[in-house]
Structure 1
Amino acid sequence: MPRSHSPSVRRRRLSAQLRRHREAAGLTLAEAAELAGIPRAKLGRIETCDSKTVKAADLDTLLNAYQVTDPAERSALHQLAREAGQKGWWWRYRDVFGAEPLPDFEAEASQIRTYEVAVIPGLLQTPEYAEAIFRGGRLTTLDHIHRQVDARMARREILHRHDSPPRLWAVIDEAALRRPIGGPEVMRSQIEYLLRIGQLPNIDIQVLPFSVGAHGGLNGAFTVLDFPEPLDPTIVYVDTVDAGVIEERPEAVAAYVGTFSDVQGAALSTVRSAHFLEGIEYEEHHEHT
């Protein structure tokens, strides 16, 4: 799978760059809007990423107002604006992923840290396991379930791309491994898959066993995404009943990062986690034979 960029990440980067240039020019938002001949509300939407696209003419006007004259920098910002307006592969599954999909951010992440309590993380699910999860949700058509599975499997491809695959660091609560989703065969196949994929150099899987007792992650699952560019701040994705929520506030992100460190520190090492998974696989095999 070729490396793709994230329109949302590029849009955030463009917004940050434009805000930085405005502040370097010593202009308030209102002054910049007046100087560029752009409505203040429109410029505000550009700087807060609420505007999905930035027209080339508007970008040139803003760069002129901010006295950005370097041709290379102007060209790079125009490239960002073009990429921010493009659609990734996940656009085909917008009915599944929603308006601000997680794959949009996963596409450009350099590191993904995920903590799951009730289910195996989506990036590590087998097709059969994913289908069993979707069948256990709200009543829907078989076609829609298959579409959900296809979308989830497409997400996994970033882990196998040749061009800088992200590092995935997954902490999985024992509850997710013990819940018999899809039946014994599906669970055994899922555990086997975790053991195989956990051997990839860019994937670390740790199990958080019941024996730990109380720990810092009891409030629920979440995913932390880091990006290679300094201008792209770390974000957190939290699943909700109807959609996912992207958390960007620095203090909230710091709290989640701290919580991940807590659960990672409480979890078994990757080697001991592999032995733990082998034990569960052995139990599953002998319990149902």
Structure 2
Amino acid sequence: MKRITTVWLLCLFAASTALAQTTNLRVMSFNIRYNNPKDSINAWPNRIDKVSSQVLFHQPQLLGVQEALSDQMDDLSQRLPQYKFVGVGRDDGKKKGEFSAIFYDTTRLQLLQSHTFWLSETPETVGSKGWDAAICRIVTYAKFRDRKSRKEFYHFNTHFDHIGKIARRESAKLLLEKVAKISGKLPAVITGDFNATPSDEPIRVITDTQNPLHLADSKPLSKIPHYGPDCTFNSFKAHETSTEPIDYIFLKGKWTVLQHATITQSWKGLYASDHYSVFANLNL
């Protein structure tokens, strides 16, 4: 009887381990650089296959993109048939301006709801520009149900302003408030280009453990040490431009971070974007 019990326990452990592996959630944040013909050899038509191949290889179930224009969203949709997206252009709430969209793997995730708000004093006002920001900025979010684990969670994706210091600080505060209010007791993943390093005020606001609304940076939580450079911006140069990131995957709730990486793949010295993508393998 003891031997049968031991075998049964081993089988149960193996089954639970296998289930945990199949319910891992791969997340990617990727500023794909807007379609600017002046980028010459790095213009979008020369990069679209690099971006899509990187996504197809790493197979994230969630992909938060920043700086994507409507035509780029169309291009990615054609090349990523397993994915659908939610999001709008920041200028008119439709197709004008950059998207901070969320692509999701339809074979794995069921979309339950989605919405976009603006990083301003009037978040529900389409096209509103906040504080000292140079341009209007947005957050797109979605609620999903995992088809395998049946668990529900939220994904928020954003791109903070590149000029306004007050705007970045206030955007960080607004983001924390919105994540807490919208997601409630459910866990959440927050991706984006925050245009701020870990020591800058916006990131300190987001990760301040004295604030009950704070978020956790997935990078230091990884069970396997971070892979790749710390910097996430390359400016289409031969190597990263600093020693610190400006793109992040933050977490709310009881996530386990199995892996975290900065993806620096190049093709004869050319990159998919002026940013590296950030990748995390999570388990809820």
TM-score range, shorter chain: under 0.3
Compare the two structures and name the one with the higher helix fraction: 1
Compare the two structures and name the one with the higher strand fraction: 2
For the pair shown, the structure with the greater C-alpha radius of gyration is 1
